Amino acid sequence: MSFGPATWEVSPGFCSYDDAVARMQERAAAIHAGTAEELVWLVEHPPLYTAGTSAKLEDLQEPERFPTFKSSRGGQWTYHGPGQRIAYVMLDLTRKHGNFAARDVHCYVRALERWVIATLADFGVKGEIRQGRVGIWVVNGAEEQKIGAIGVRVTRWVTWHGLALNVDPDLSHFGGIVPCGIREHGVTSLRALGVEASMAEVDAALQRHWSGIFG
């Protein structure tokens, strides 16, 4: 079965993490079977912490603060919560997307980074990548701060999980973990950088730049 461009979906309200994982697994299996289209699914979660496959227990500093979940995505501890746009991306990597080759997970992750950087530029924010650090960073004064996190899983060449972009979350909530295992740098958001952007405006920018990155 042949499908066109990825379907886009925005879920209103807050989506539970368990429900999100179950739906991603179901959709990824259907994409692999050729019975469903690729999907970009935009959600918000209630406050929670997730542990990626490389997470260290000592990096969970306040285990009673919010619910915690063991995640099958790559990476370490991260926070999800209101004001943070989560983009769960389910693509068939046996197909070519944009300018990166099929079956190239490294290039797929780089494409996710470029997607966020292009989106941030619409709001006058310069996003950057750093060698050895997955994710998107901004230079704020003398400090480097993370504004976007990436954690993916690929099952039978179908991607799931994705990225988290800080629009206007409560940044104090990150204090219960060592985000992504990085102690020497902080986190930021569009709001903390002085950008008054609505979630709908961020969603529109994400969709606007999708085809330029992923074709």
Q: Kindly list the domain boundaries of the chain, sorted by start residue.
A: 7-214
What pLDDT does 150 receive? 95
For the stretch 82-127, pLDDT in tens is: 999 999 999 999 998 988 888 999 999 999 999 999 999 999 999 9
pTM value?
0.94
3-class secondary structure, 81:
coil
Percentage of the chain modeled with pLDDT above 90: 83
Q: Give the mean model confidence (pLDDT) for residues 52-64.
A: 92
The DSSP bridge partners found for residue 166 are 84
Burial per residue of 19-46, b for 16 or more beta-carbon CB atoms within 10 angstroms, e otherwise: ebbebbeebbeebbeeebebbbbbbbbe
> Do 141 and 135 contact (CB within 8 A), yes or no?
no
Topology adopted by domain 7-214: BirA Bifunctional Protein; domain 2 (3.30.930)
For the stretch 15-33, pLDDT in tens is: 999 999 999 999 999 999 9
What pLDDT does 1 receive? 37
Q: What is the DSSP letter of 26?
A: H
Which residues are designated catalytic? 180
Both tokens assigned to 7: 């379907």
Q: Is the pLDDT of residue 2 over 50?
A: no
Distances, alpha carbon 85 to alpha carbons 103, 110, 213, in Å: 27, 19, 19
> One-letter amino acid identity for 190?
L
Give the pLDDT band (50/70/90) at residue 80.
very high
For the stretch 157-173, pLDDT in tens is: 999 999 999 999 999 99
* Higher pLDDT pick, 146 / 180: 146
